[in-house]
Amino acid sequence: MLISLLTAQKSKVNGTKLLRYAYKLEHNDQAALFKLLESIAGDTIVPELVNRVDTKDPIIRTYITKVLAKFDTPRVNESLSKLLSDENKAVRLAALDGLSRANKIDDIEQLCKLISDPDFKVQNKAIEAIVKIKHPKTVLYLIPHLKDESEYVRRAAVEVLNEIASKESVKDLLNAIKDEDWWVRSRAADALGKIGGKRVVRAVIQLIKDDDEFIRRSAIEIINATKDDSTFEALVQSLDDSDWWVRERAIDGLADLGNKKCVPVLINMLSNNSDNEAMVVVLLKAFATLKANDAVDVTVKQLKSKSENVIKEAIKTLMVITDDNTIETVVKAIDKVIENQAEEIQELGQEAINRIVEQEPADSSIQVFKSDDIDIKSDTLTLPGKVTRGDVSTESKIINPDDMQPDDMLADRYRYIKKIGKGAFGSVFLVEDTIISEEIILKFLNAQFVTDESIIKRFIYELRFARKITHPNVIRIYDMLSFGKAHAISMEYFRSHTLSAEVKDKKPMDVERAKKFTYDVCSGMESAHEANVVHRDLKPNNILINEESILKIVDFGVAAATQSTDTKLTKTGLLVGTPTYMAPEQVLGKEVDERTDIYSLGAIMYEMLTGRPPYSGKDSMSIMYQHVQGKATKVCEKNELVSQELSDVVSKSMSVKAEHRYQSMAELKDAIEKLMN
């Protein structure tokens, strides 16, 4: 009633007194009072508003900010700019709205910080303002967001770039991240490539002929990530680049585009570079990816190469590109060349002949391990085996991380915090990387593996692929490190517990929670499979969950790193893969692919929904035998809260024959999503 009377007599109301009275009212009445105040406020009330803008009550602070936004004075704009970092999202939004309407945002750095604002409305409003202002230094302030671990934040930064990008601004951005760690550059380039729009693509294409080698290399990586057909001509032009990296990555990019118009150019390139082993291997892989039947003749010629690597790659390529018209020629050529070759090439050649004759070309996406391709020194970041405790430093070729104590310094860089755990393949430690002031995980390989160079090589090979995976549901792998003779992997630290801790006392998990976790695992594994990485050892202990129920998958490549070609037991006697969740093809020693991980996830779903794994026994062999038999009781028969539809999803995922399962994680994810509330 009082507010109504004041409104009727607003010409006589004292704004300053009205503002002071606001603190005595309930929140509902405050809204009406400030609406009145906004309509009568004049310049004389500005000092009072500015003085009260720091009030503890966030609701009153928001109302004051909205009233202040009416005025366009340096003091008001300064106050509103400070409020952009207010802890309350409504205050931040009100301040941003006022500054945007007045077009008085001078602090572009502060504005760009709002790109990572947790509130969607604030973030969107900030993006609109940044695009509208088009400040010349905007791109430089986008860099922290392009490096951010959150895809949500990276997407927002690229959204700004999509509106303001130019050749010059993208070049400035690339130069600004030039000295960052490789994974930072990779994350930024990946964001630009996968999320960037037409404006970004056009800007990057213009940089493909830049004089700076670093800029050209960065541009080619971004272009390859876009997989945009409009980049075809730029990639063809890059085949003549003076830098070998750009040339090879241009070949990879053309192969990924799948446009066979490039095949004649690549064939000619192979003819002119037949003495360049590395280039030949890259070109052969491109022919396989493109399924370039026209390249059969030039590929057959590579069977006469003096390089075993080239011969092996040529054989694998011929498995894919041979057609009905060239079967006889190819089979005779392979049969002739393998007569006097090493056993490995003979076996590969015979496999190729069998596949070609049966008209079952090999899948070119399958990665064949080649130890000759791995140089431990060049693929590993080598650091001194130096441990500092207080003022005393000791350096040794053999470091036992189990002997380290809190605050010990390793290689003058990593501050030891604590031991996290120990598994079959290594011990896990939490350390602080003092260079970047960030806590990370160091996973040291156990001593029995360190002495086997083939295992180290295989580990590095797998990590090459695993560290390409950048997904919110996957633990990020950074580098392979060497401290003297000790080897470790550095990776993201994620404060969490394992999924095993969620399935305790042999009781089923909440059905909706189980579906949510399954969906998240599918999302992370889908990203891994797109990078041609098969986990091989999915299990509850390799799935981490934090207090906010965010899920991340860990330990990619560990099983593959120690895999023997003829048995599932390593030289150290360790079983590769966990029997409880092992797919039938792993038990039988057959080839694995992404469907192997789908089976393991099916077994994990089974345990989440019933409280127990699908099979159990006195020893590993009895459990493995049951996986091959495939006679698990249906989930819905063990837990009446599980629907028939969800039970069928689990059963299909755990089919003994891979062809009867879901054929991709995306397919399984869709099936789960349809059943989620």
Looking at the fold, whether 321 and 451 belong to one and the same domain comes out as no
> By three-state DSSP, how is residue 476 classified?
coil
Which CATH number covers residue 329? 1.25.10
CA atoms lying within 13 Å on the CB side of residue 646: 26
Looking at the fold, whether 521 and 654 belong to one and the same domain comes out as yes
Asked whether the beta carbons of 459 and 556 are under 8 A apart, the reply is no
For residue 359, name the pLDDT band (cuts at 50, 70, 90).
low
Is 288 contained in some domain? yes
Decide which of 34 and 215 is more confident. Answer: 215
Is 397 contained in some domain? no
First to last CA, the chain: 46
Is 188 contained in some domain? no
Decide which of 399 and 98 is more confident. Answer: 98
Token pair of 524 as six digits: 């992370």
- Whether the pLDDT of residue 442 is over 50: the answer is yes
The residue to which tokens 């003058």 are assigned:
412
Decide which of 488 and 508 is more confident. Answer: 508
Decide which of 150 and 500 is more confident. Answer: 500
Asked whether the beta carbons of 349 and 355 are under 8 A apart, the reply is no
Q: Which helix (H) or strand (E) holds 501?
A: none
pLDDT in tens, 658-677: 999 999 999 999 999 999 97
CA distance 391 to 28: 64
Q: Which helix (H) or strand (E) holds 381?
A: strand 381-383
Looking at the fold, whether 582 and 468 belong to one and the same domain comes out as no
Asked whether the beta carbons of 142 and 180 are under 8 A apart, the reply is no
- pLDDT > 70 in the chain, percent: 80
Which CATH number covers residue 434? 3.30.200.20
Boundary of a domain, candidates 469, 492, 515: 492
- Whether the pLDDT of residue 598 is over 50: the answer is yes
Decide which of 494 and 385 is more confident. Answer: 494
CA distance 329 to 396: 58
User: Please, which residues have CB within 8 angstroms of residue 162's CB and are 6 or more apart in sequence?
Assistant: 196, 197, 198, 199, 200
CA distance 466 to 461: 9
Count of beta carbons in the 10 Å neighbourhood of residue 677: 6
CA atoms lying within 13 Å on the CB side of residue 503: 25
Looking at the fold, whether 520 and 658 belong to one and the same domain comes out as yes
Helices (H), 558-619: 558-561, 584-587, 594-610
Tell me which DSSP letter residue 371 carries: G
Is 365 contained in some domain? no
pLDDT in tens, 272-299: 988 899 999 999 999 999 999 999 999 9
pLDDT in tens, 584-594: 998 887 889 99
Decide which of 210 and 383 is more confident. Answer: 210
Is 386 contained in some domain? no
The DSSP secondary structure of 398-418, one letter per residue, reads S--GGG--TT-EETTTEEEEE
Is 324 contained in some domain? yes
CA atoms lying within 13 Å on the CB side of residue 220: 25
Looking at the fold, whether 621 and 660 belong to one and the same domain comes out as yes
- Whether the pLDDT of residue 369 is over 50: the answer is no
User: Please, which residues have CB within 8 angstroms of residue 2's CB and are 6 or more apart in sequence?
Assistant: none
**Phi, psi torsion values for 653, nearest 5 degrees:** -60, -30
Per-residue pLDDT, 187: 66
Decide which of 648 and 216 is more confident. Answer: 648
CA distance 456 to 463: 11
Single out the residue of 367, 414, 364, 411 nearest to residue 387, CA to CA.
Answer: 411
CA 548 to mean position of chain CA atoms: 20
Q: Which helix (H) or strand (E) holds 421?
A: strand 414-422
Per-residue pLDDT, 672: 97
Most confident of 143-147, 413-417, 640-644: 640-644
Token pair of 23 as six digits: 């603190």
Decide which of 168 and 234 is more confident. Answer: 234
CA distance 161 to 254: 25
Q: Is 134 exposed, middle or buried (0-12, 13-18, 19+ CB in 10 A)?
A: exposed
- Whether the pLDDT of residue 380 is over 70: the answer is no
Looking at the fold, whether 586 and 649 belong to one and the same domain comes out as yes
User: 414-422 and 426-433 as β-strands: parallel, antiparallel, unpaired?
Assistant: antiparallel
Most confident of 115-129, 472-486, 565-579, 645-659: 645-659
Per-residue pLDDT, 573: 36
Asked whether the beta carbons of 496 and 475 are under 8 A apart, the reply is no
Token pair of 146 as six digits: 């392009």
Is 618 contained in some domain? yes
Q: Which helix (H) or strand (E) holds 393?
A: strand 392-395
**Burial readout 635-660 (b: 16 or more C-beta within 10 A, e: otherwise):** bbebbeebeeebbebbbbbbbeebee
For residue 564, name the pLDDT band (cuts at 50, 70, 90).
very low
- Average pLDDT on 195-212 reads 82
Q: Which helix (H) or strand (E) holds 478?
A: strand 477-483
The whole-chain average pLDDT of the chain stands at 81
Looking at the fold, whether 428 and 352 belong to one and the same domain comes out as no
- Whether the pLDDT of residue 390 is over 60: the answer is no
Least confident stretch, 325-329, 438-442, 656-660 = 325-329
Single out the residue of 553, 542, 563, 568 nearest to residue 665, CA to CA.
Answer: 553
Decide which of 252 and 347 is more confident. Answer: 252
Task: Please name every residue paired with 383 in a beta bridge, in sequence order, or none if there are none.
Answer: 483
- Average pLDDT on 58-64 reads 85
The DSSP secondary structure of 313-334, one letter per residue, reads HHHHHHHHH--TTTHHHHHHHH
Least confident stretch, 457-471, 474-488, 643-657 = 457-471
The residue to which tokens 């009867």 are assigned:
660
> By three-state DSSP, how is residue 272 classified?
helix
Per-residue pLDDT, 184: 60
Which CATH number covers residue 554? 1.10.510.10
The DSSP secondary structure of 424-459, one letter per residue, reads SSEEEEEEEETTTTEEEEEEEEPHHHHT-HHHHHHH
Looking at the fold, whether 626 and 485 belong to one and the same domain comes out as no
- Average pLDDT on 172-190 reads 69
> By three-state DSSP, how is residue 631 classified?
coil
Decide which of 670 and 386 is more confident. Answer: 670
Decide which of 621 and 530 is more confident. Answer: 530
Single out the residue of 565, 577, 500, 564 nearest to residue 535, CA to CA.
Answer: 577
- Whether the pLDDT of residue 8 is over 50: the answer is no
For residue 136, name the pLDDT band (cuts at 50, 70, 90).
confident
- Whether the pLDDT of residue 154 is over 60: the answer is yes
Count of beta carbons in the 10 Å neighbourhood of residue 592: 21
Structural domain boundaries, residue 627? 497-567+576-676
Is 414 contained in some domain? yes
Decide which of 100 and 560 is more confident. Answer: 100
Token pair of 455 as six digits: 């295992």
CA distance 537 to 167: 45
Looking at the fold, whether 549 and 648 belong to one and the same domain comes out as yes
CA distance 591 to 658: 11
Token pair of 160 as six digits: 């700004």
CA distance 65 to 78: 12
Asked whether the beta carbons of 87 and 122 are under 8 A apart, the reply is no
Looking at the fold, whether 556 and 632 belong to one and the same domain comes out as yes
Single out the residue of 106, 40, 25 nearest to residue 72, CA to CA.
Answer: 106
Least confident stretch, 250-259, 318-327, 640-649, 659-668 = 318-327
∠ CA 445-447-451, nearest 5°, is 100
The residue to which tokens 């990008």 are assigned:
165
Looking at the fold, whether 517 and 633 belong to one and the same domain comes out as yes
Asked whether the beta carbons of 282 and 310 are under 8 A apart, the reply is no
Single out the residue of 583, 491, 499 nearest to residue 536, CA to CA.
Answer: 583
Least confident stretch, 59-63, 151-155, 594-598, 669-673 = 151-155
Boundary of a domain, candidates 341, 357, 373: 357
Single out the residue of 275, 274, 232 nearest to residue 250, CA to CA.
Answer: 232
- pLDDT > 90 in the chain, percent: 31
For residue 321, name the pLDDT band (cuts at 50, 70, 90).
very high
- Whether the pLDDT of residue 47 is over 70: the answer is yes
Boundary of a domain, candidates 451, 467, 492: 492
Per-residue pLDDT, 14: 57
For residue 567, name the pLDDT band (cuts at 50, 70, 90).
very low
Looking at the fold, whether 431 and 537 belong to one and the same domain comes out as no
- Whether the pLDDT of residue 603 is over 90: the answer is yes
Number of domains in the chain: 3
pLDDT in tens, 122-131: 888 888 888 8
